[in-house]
Structure 1
Amino acid sequence: MNATRPHAGWRARALALTATLALAGGTAAVTATPAHAVGSLGRAYVWAHSPSHALNTPYAPSAAYSRNSTGAANSVVRTGTGLYTVRLGNLGRTGGTVHVTAYGATSNTCAVRDWNPVGNRLDVRVSCFTRTGLRVNTPFTASFVNTAGSGGARFAYLWANSPAAAAYTPSTTYQFNSSGALNTITRSGTGRYTVRLRAIGSASGHVQVTAYGDTSARCKVGNWFVSGADQLVNVRCNDRLGNPADQRYTLTYARGTGVQRATPAAYAWANLPASAAYNPSAAYSYNSSGVVNRIRRVSQGVYRFHPPNQQLTNGNVQVTAYGSDTKYCKVERWNPTDGVQVRCYTVAGALTDTYYDVSFQR
C-alpha cells in the first residue's frame, strides 16, 4: 500500500465564542491569484494522510493532494488524539470558509474547529471523532477559499455563527455572495435552519455543509430550492445520537464552478441511492470538461462517483449527506479506476443507502 496517495488504494478520507476570539490574529495581504479563479484572495486544500504522525511535529501532506494558490507550502500538525492543525502558508488573513470531510473506510467523522491567521499563514484546526463521540486519529480532507468580487458563476458561502438565534445575518467577515448581497439565516427549530442566499436563485447547483466547533455533531443538507430571486438551503444538524442539535456550521453553494470557485472541478447530487448505475440529475451535476458524470452503487451504502476527464490522481474531495434523516457520508478514496468512492452510515455505524452531495476540485 502507498500511504501517500488516496488513489493508491490506501483504506483510510463551517467560529468560537465570538469572531474576535475564534479568529484572532494578524493579517497578511495575499495578492497571488490562481488560474481559473474569479476575484480569489487565496485558496488551498490538503489530504491529511498521516493521522497518527508524531505529536506537534509538522509533516508535508502528499504533494499531489495539496494545493496552495500562493505557491507556499502547506503542512499538518497533530496536536492531540483526533486534533490537527492544517497550516496554509502565506494565506494569513481573516475571512473565507473551510470544509472538512473524514477519509477512509471507517465511520469516523471530522469537523472544522476554527481557522485564524497566525502571522503570514492561516491555521485551520480540525477535530475528528468516532461515531460514538470519542476522539480518534483519522485521515481527512480539508479545503479553504477566500474570495471577492461579483460576476462569474453563482457562488456563496457563510459561517453560521449564531445557532440559537431565530433570524440573523451571519458574520459578514466570513460570508460571501457573488451577487454582492448579504446572506441570512433563520432557525425553525432545534438544529433546523434555512439559509437564504440572496439574488443567486436557481433550480440547480451544489451545496456542501460542515459542522463547526470541537464537536462530534454532524450537519447536512436538507434540500435547496429557488424562492423568487433567492436560493434557499435547508440545513439539519444532529448530535452523534441523531438528536436535533443547535450547531454552528459552514456552508458553500456553487453553480457552474467548483466549491473553491475555481476549475477544473466536478460535483453531483446523488439522487438515486438505490440504483445500480445512473447519470445524476443534470441540473445538480457539473463537470468543467463538459461531459456527463456517472454514479455507480458498489454495495449498500458504498458508491463511486465518476467525473470523466477529471484528473483523479490529485485534487480534493468533499462530501456531505443530503436529506431529512440522520445518515451521514464521507469519502473513502479516489483514483482513476474507482472514481470517488463514498461511504454512508447510520448513526449506529451501519452502511446505508442515502442521498449525498460530492464535489471534486483540482
Structure 2
Amino acid sequence: MRVSRFLKEWRTRLLAAGAALTMAGGAVVLAPGVAQAAPARGLAYVWANSPNSALNVPYTPSAFYSRNSTGGTNTVVRTGTGQYTVRMPGLGLIGGTVHVTAYGSTSHTCGVNYWVPGAGGRLDVHVSCFTRTGARVNTTFDASFVNTAVVGGSRIAYVWANQPTSAAYTPSTSYQFNSGGSTNTITRQGAGQYRVRVPSIGAAAGHVQVTAYGDVAARCKVVNWFPSGSTEYVNVRCHNAVGRLADNRFTLTYVRSTGILRTTPAAYAWANQPTTAAYNPAASYAYNSTGSVMRIRRIGTGTYRFVPPNMPLGNGHVQVTAYGSDSAYCKVDFWTPSTGVQIRCFAPSGALVDTYYDVAFQR
C-alpha cells in the first residue's frame, strides 16, 4: 500500500506538470525508487537575473546570489515567454518544497509551476511569470528549494497543498515535513481560502512564506497564523489575476527561530505597521541569527526597506509574501548591504499600496 500511494503521488505530480508518461520514442521515464547518486536532502537558491536569455540555452546566474548545498552550480534555462527551468545539481530526489518571488520594480508576479528530478541526478524547478493581468512575461525572480528530514531542533514545517477543492485532506506526504514528527493537514474554508494545520510545533511566534503553484496567474498569501495548544494554524488565501478569491494549489513553509532553508545566517520579519515611517518589527515574529534587532522603514506608498543588521546582504537570497485578507501582493525590489532589502507591494490594479508582509533573508 505504501508503494501504491507513492506511485499515485508521483503520477499526480507529473500530470499536474502537464508531463506525458510514455516510453515511446526512447523517452526516459524517471520512476520512484530508482537509485541515484544525489543526496536525499539539501537546499539551493538562485537569483535568476537574465530574464531575456536565449531560449533553451542554460546560463549560470550570479554566483553571489546562488547556492547549492551539494557544491553543484545552479543554472537557469528560459523555455518560453515567462517560463523558466532552474536546474539544481545533486538534489534530484522526490520531496522538499519550493518558494518563488518575482524581483524588480514592476508589478509582475512569479510562481512555481512544478519541480521534478531531472537528468544526471539534478532537480528541475519550473517557474512561470506573469503580468498583473495574467499575460506571460519575462522577468527576474528568486527561487529556493529545501528538502529536510531532521526531526527536532529548530521548528520548521512545509506542505505542498495539492488538492485545492477538497474539503479536508492530508497533503502529499512526499512533499510535506514537520520537525515535530507530526503530519500536517489542510481544510478548505471557501473559494480560495484554506487553513493549514501544523501539529506539535505551535507558538505565538514564527514566520510564514507562501507561493502559488501551477502554470496559472494566481497569487497566494498568508492571512494570519496562531497556536492552539501545541498546534499551529496558518490561514491562506489565493486570488486570481483580477484579485478575486480562487481555488489554487500552493506551497507553504512555517519556521521559528531558523531560516526558511533551516540554515544560518538568516533573518525574517513580519512587517505589521504598513504606514509607519520606521519601526522595529515584533520580536516574536522576527529573527536574526546574529541576535541583532531588525528595522523596517517605509520609503513611500507600498515601498519598504527591511534592514537586518550583520546579515551578508552582498550575497544571499530573499523571499517575500504579502500578509492579510485582501488581494494585495508583494515582491522583492532589490537588496544591498547599504540599503537593506527593498520591497514593493501592489493592488491588483498594479498601483502601489501599503500593506502587511513577511520577508525572509537566507545565506
Query: TM (normalized to structure 1)?
Result: 0.92
After the TM superposition, which residues 120-135 of structure 1 pair with which residues of structure 2 at under 5 Å, given as runs?
Answer: 120-135=121-136
* Structure 2: distance between partners of 1:117 and 1:111: 18
How far did 1:149 drift?
A: 2.0
Task: Give percent identity, aligned residues only.
Answer: 65
- Pairs within 5 Å for 1:1-362: 18-22=12-16, 25-26=30-31, 28-31=36-39, 41-119=41-119, 120-362=121-363
SS of equivalent residue, structure 1 residue 223: strand
Measured against aligned partners, the alpha-carbon deviations of 1:45-86 in whole angstroms (never above 9, x if no partner) come to 000000000000000000010100000110000000000000
Shift of 1:338: 1.1
The structure-2 alpha-carbon separation of the partners of 1:265 and 1:20, relative to structure 1 and needing over 3 Å to count, comes to: same
CA displacement 1:238-294 (0-9 Å, x = unmatched): 101111100000000000000011111000000101000000010000000001010
In structure 2, give the amino acid aligned to 1:77: V
Tell me the SS of whatever aligns to 2:98.
strand
Per-residue deviation, 1:21: 3.4
Structure 2 unmatched ranges of 5 or more: 1-8, 18-28
Q: SS at the partner of 1:296? A: strand
Cα distance in 2 for residues equivalent to 1:325 and 1:29 = 45
Native 8 Å contact 2:94 2:174 kept in 1: yes
Aligned in 2, Cα 1:16/1:269: closer, same or farther, shift over 3 Å? farther
1:118, CA displacement in angstroms? 1.2
Aligned pair in 2 of structure 1 residues 154, 354: CA closer, same or farther (>3 Å)? same
Change over 3 Å in CA distance of 1:262–1:197 after alignment to 2: same
**Aligned counterparts of 1:243 and 1:157: Cα–Cα separation in 2:** 25
Runs of 4+ in structure 1 deviating by more than 2 angstroms, as ranges, are 19-31
Name the CA distance, whole Å, in 2 between partners of 1:340 and 1:233. 25
Report Cα offsets for 1:287-332 as digits up to 9, x if no partner.
0000101000000000000000000001000000000000000000
d(CA) in 2 for partners of 1:63, 1:97: 22
- Alpha-carbon displacement from aligned partner over 1:186-245 (angstroms, at most 9, x marks no partner): 001000000000110000000000000001110000000001110000000010111110
In the alignment of these two chains, the number of paired residues is 340
Structure with more relative contact order (C-alpha pairs < 8 Å, separation 6 or more) = 1
Deviation digits for residues 136-165 of structure 1 (CA, Å, limit 9, x no counterpart): 000000000000021111100010000000
Counterpart CA distance in 1 for 2:243 and 2:15 is 29
Note if contact 1:79-1:85 (Cα within 8 Å) is conserved in structure 2: yes
- RMSD, aligned α-carbons: 1.4
Which of the two has higher C-alpha Rg? 2
